[in-house]
Chains A and B, each alone.
Chain A
Amino acid sequence: DQQVKQNSPSLSVQEGRISILNCDYTNSMFDYFLWYKKYPAEGPTFLISISSIKDKNEDGRFTVFLNKSAKHLSLHIVPSQPGDSAVYFCAASETGSGYALNFGKGTSLLVTP
């Protein structure tokens, strides 16, 4: 049963605009959330994370927002660049349940010039 859901398999955005990638989760015990980015023929790389005690975390062009009541998080990329074209995975974990990271199915972002 998928506990982390990324309902948009793909997203296309123009260069310079904002990209918003969404993620929903069902387990209210999740207390740490991470975003990973994956280019073809490479392993996923860590992008940004947020703990449940915060509702926003920012790192340069990347901002993650967490809405605990809605069990929803989103990744904003501003401004989007062609090099941001990749698959983005949302992941969540729960303190006390070992270290299992539950991944979503990913969203493929294409940033067009």
Chain B
Amino acid sequence: EAQVTQNPRYLITVTGKKLTVTCSQNMNHEYMSWYRQDPGLGLRQIYYSMNVEVTDKGDVPEGYKVSRKEKRNFPLILESPSPNQTSLYFCASSFGRVGEKLFFGSGTQLSVL
């Protein structure tokens, strides 16, 4: 089944403790991206990657890191999480052509205490 898999679904952590949210897709997509969803703010892009070893900042990259060492994986790294990073995170992927629909993962609800 074609899908984007994120783990974990729920995560509670404390300020400053490094964490990684994993994302994997099985559709051979070139393009992958991370979004965060916050009440009243909709979906905002954090980082995206057009292909392996190519990453770029989205609208809200501060406090996040990503890497794209393999085509299928695109982990999101929070080196020193802070409470304002409490949010619902979505990974997405596509073939990267304009108008191509994005496939989203089921989301990761992160709480930073």
Residues of A within 8 A of B (CB): 6, 9, 31-32, 34, 36, 41-46, 49, 51, 89, 93-95, 98-101, 103-106
Which residues in A have their C-beta under 8 angstroms from that of B90?
Answer: 43-44
Write the nearest CB–CB distance from A90 to chain B, whole angstroms. 9
Which of under 10, 10 to 19, 20 to 34, or 35 or more describes the interface residues of B? Answer: 20 to 34
Please give, as numbers and ranges, the residues of chain A lying within 8 Å of B102 by CB-CB distance: 36, 44, 46, 101
In the complex, the answer to whether B99 meets A105 with C-beta atoms within 8 Å is: no
Inter-chain residue pair count (beta carbon < 8 A): 64
Task: Please list the residues of chain B having a beta carbon within 8 angstroms of any beta carbon in chain A.
Answer: 4, 31, 33, 35, 40-45, 48, 50, 56, 58, 90, 92, 94, 96-107
Quick check: B40 and A99 within 8 Å, CB to CB? no
Shortest distance between the CB of B21 and any CB in chain A (Å): 13
Can you name 17 A-B pairs with beta carbons within 8 Å? A6-B42, A9-B40, A32-B98, A34-B99, A36-B102, A36-B104, A43-B92, A43-B106, A44-B102, A51-B99, A93-B99, A99-B48, A99-B94, A99-B96, A100-B45, A103-B43, A106-B43
Give the residue name and chain of the A residue nearest to B91 (CB). A43
Interface contact A104-B42, CB-CB below 8 Å: yes
Majority secondary structure of chain B interface residues (helix, strand, loop or mixed): strand
Whether B98 lies near A105 (C-beta < 8 A) is no
Q: Is the beta-carbon distance between B101 and A49 smaller than 8 angstroms?
A: yes
Which of B41, B43, B44, B98 sits near A99, CB closer than 8 Å? B98
**B53, chain A: closest CB distance, angstroms:** 16
> Given A49-B101, A93-B99, A95-B98, A100–B107 Cβ distance below 8 Å?
no
